[in-house]
Structure 1
C-alpha cells in the first residue's frame, strides 16, 4: 500500500493535474468513477508498472521476514539414576550459580554399601595385625625346627664318629634312626620356612589386595552417593520445578525441572529469509528488528553469520529412498543477527517473536568502485533510496502492532 501511494504521486496525480489544468476536465464531470480508467489510463498504467517494479526491488534487495526469534537452549534437570527425593535445596524461579546443589535423592542403600566397604577395610586391617602375630609364630617355629635339626645332626655326627672308630656302642639301626631324625627335622625346618613365606605373601600380597578391593568398593559407594545430589551445571534460573520430598524422579520418564542459563538467547537472534534473497543476505549486512515483546521500538542489527546450508534439504539415513516431491515447505536462508550497538536488546526476553528487515548497502561500492557504469550507478542509487520505504513500513507495523494484537485479535 505504501509503495502504491508513493508511485501514484508521480504517475496518477500528474496525469490528473495535466487533464485538469490543460484539458479543462474536472472531477465529477468528464472524470468520474465510470470514466476514470479512460481518462487516467496513462497514469494508472505507469503507476501499476512502477509499483510492481518498486515492490520487486524493495523485497529483493531489502528482504523482510517475520520468522525471527531469539532461540535459547534449556538444561533439563536430571539425576543419573532414578530414586526418591530426600531433600530439595532450591525453589521454583530461583537463580542459581554453577555448582549449587538442587536436590538430593535417598542414599540409604549406597550408605549401607559404603559402611560395608568400611567394615571390610577394618577386617583387613585386623587380619594384617593377626598376620604379623602369625609371622612371629612362624619365625619361632623355624627357630625351634632349626634347633631340633642341629641337635639331630650333632647326634648323627657323634654316632658316625663312634662307628668309624669301631665302637660297638653304635649299631646300624641307631645310625639309621639318627639319619631319619635329621631328615625329619630338615623337613620340619623347610615346612616352617614355607609357612613363614606364606605368611609373608599374605602380608605383602593378599591382605593389601583385599584392602585395595574394599577401598575401591568404598570409593564406588561414595561416588554413587555423590551422584545422588544434582548440581547446577551452569548459572541460570530454575523453572518448572515441582519437586517435593518423597517424589520419585526417573531420568527417562520424569525429569525434575528445567534450568534456563542466564545468557541463553541474549543479544542473538535467528532470522529466516526467503530463499530468493540468498544472494542478497550476506555477512556484515545491516538489518532492523521489531519484537512483539518490545513494541514501538526498532533495534538496528548487523548480520554476523549466514548459514551456508538450507535446513529443509537435510536428510537422515533410513530404510527408504528420498524423493524430492515429498519435501515439505521450502526452507529459508538462516541468518544470525546481533545488535549494532551493545545493550540495545538486553530487555528483549529470550524466545521473543520478531520481524526483521535486511538492507542492501551499496554505499561503499558507489564511493570506491570506479568500474561502475552510469546506468548501474543510477540503479544502485535507486536501490539505496527505496530502502527507506521498507524502513518506514517496519516502523508503521511497529506502531500498529499493539492495536492489531490487543484490539483485533484480542490476545
Structure 2
C-alpha cells in the first residue's frame, strides 16, 4: 500500500494534473468513476509498473523474513550406565552449576566391587609382609646349609689327607659316605639359595605387579561408582525434570531430562531468508528485528554469519537413490544476526519467534567515487527505499500484539 501511494504521486497524480489544468477536464464532469481508466490510463499503467518494480527492488535489496527464532542448544541428561534412580537432588526446574549432582543411581554393585578391590590390596600388603618373613627364613636356611656343607667338606678333606698319609687308617667306604654327604649338603645349599631367590622375586616383582593390578581394579571400581553420580557438565538450568527415585534410566533409550546451558539463545538470532536473496545477504549488513516476546520494540542488529548451505538439500547416503521431487519446500538461506548494542536481546525469551529485516548499504561504493553518476543515483535510490521496509517493520511491531491477542483469538 505504501509503495502504491508513493508511485501514484509520481504517475497518477501528475497525469491528473495534466488532465485538469492542461486539458481542462474536471472531476465529476469529464473525469468520472466510469471514465477514470480512459482518462488516467497512462498514469495508472505507469503506477502499476512502477509499483511492481519498486516492491521487487525493496524486497530484493532489503530482504525480510518472519522465520527468525532465537534458537538455543539443549543438553540431554543421560547417565553413562543404565540403572535405577536412588536419589534426586533437583526439583521440576532449578539452576545448576558445573559439577553439581543432579541425581544418583543405585550403586550397591559398584560399592561392592570397590570394597573387593580394597580388600585385594590389603591382602597383597599382607602377602608382602609374609614374603619378607619368607626371605628371612630362606636366609637362615641358607646359612644353615652353608654351615652343614662346610662341616661335611672339612671332614672329607681330613679323611682324604689321612688316607694319603696312610692308606690303611681310613676305610674307603667312609670317604665315599662323606662324599655323598657333601653332595647332599650342596643340594640343600642350592635349594636354600633358590628359595631365597624365589622369595625375593615374589617380594620385588610379583607382589608389586599384583598390587598395581589391584589398584587399577580399585580405580576402575571407583570410576564406575562415580558414574552413578550424574553431574551437570556446564552451568545452566534444568527444566521439566520429572525424574523420581525408582525410575530406570537408559543411556540409549531414555534420558533423564534436559539441561539448558547458561546464556543459551541470548547471543544470536537465526533467520531464514529466501534463496533469491542469497547474493544480497552479506556479513556486516545492518538489520532490525522485532520479537513476539518483547512487543513494540525494534532491536538493531548486524549479520555476523551467512550459512553457505541450504538445509533442504542435505541427504544421507543409504540404500535408496535420491528423488528430487521429495524436496517439496525450497528451503531458506540461514543467517545469524547479533545485536549491535550490548544487551540488545535482554527481555527476549529464548525460542521466541521474530520478524527481521536486513538492509543493503552502498554508502562505501558511492563514497569511493568509482561509480558513475547514474549508477550512483541508482544506488542512492536503492538505499533510500530501505526506509519503506523499516516503516513496514515498525507497523508490524505495532500491530503484532493486536493481531496476536485480538485477531488471533488468544
Inter-partner Cα distance in structure 2 for 1:177 and 1:8: 140
Check if 1:179 corresponds to 2:179: yes
Superposition pairs of residues 39-78 of structure 1, within 5 angstroms: 39-78=39-78
**What SS does structure 2 have at the residue aligned with 1:330?**
coil
1:392 paired residue number: 391
Task: Provide TM-score, normalisation by structure 2.
Answer: 0.95
Superposition pairs of residues 79-228 of structure 1, within 5 angstroms: 79-228=79-228
Check if 1:362 corresponds to 2:357: no
Inter-partner Cα distance in structure 1 for 2:181 and 2:55: 122
Inter-partner Cα distance in structure 2 for 1:410 and 1:300: 30
1:410 paired residue number: 409
CA deviation profile, 1:267-317 (whole Å, cap 9, x unmatched)? 301112112112211111111111111111111111112222333333432
Aligned Cα root-mean-square deviation (Å): 1.7
C-alpha displacement at 1:351, in angstroms? Answer: 1.2
2:6 paired residue number: 6
Inter-partner Cα distance in structure 1 for 2:377 and 2:152: 127
Q: Is the 8 A contact 1:293 1:349 kept in 2?
A: yes
**What SS does structure 1 have at the residue aligned with 2:354?**
strand
Task: Provide TM-score, normalisation by structure 1.
Answer: 0.95
1:401 paired residue number: 400
C-alpha displacement at 1:64, in angstroms? Answer: 0.9
177-186 or 271-280: bigger deviation = 271-280
C-alpha displacement at 1:29, in angstroms? Answer: 4.2
C-alpha displacement at 1:259, in angstroms? Answer: 0.8
Q: Is the 8 A contact 1:267 1:346 kept in 2?
A: no
Inter-partner Cα distance in structure 2 for 1:345 and 1:285: 18
Inter-partner Cα distance in structure 2 for 1:368 and 1:201: 87
Inter-partner Cα distance in structure 2 for 1:254 and 1:201: 52
2:353 paired residue number: 353
**What SS does structure 2 have at the residue aligned with 1:238?**
strand
4-13 or 379-388: bigger deviation = 4-13
Structure 1: unaligned runs, 5 residues or longer: none
Q: Is the 8 A contact 1:61 1:383 kept in 2?
A: yes
C-alpha displacement at 1:376, in angstroms? Answer: 1.0
Inter-partner Cα distance in structure 2 for 1:4 and 1:53: 11
C-alpha displacement at 1:356, in angstroms? Answer: 1.0
CA deviation profile, 1:100-133 (whole Å, cap 9, x unmatched)? 2211111111111111111111111111122222
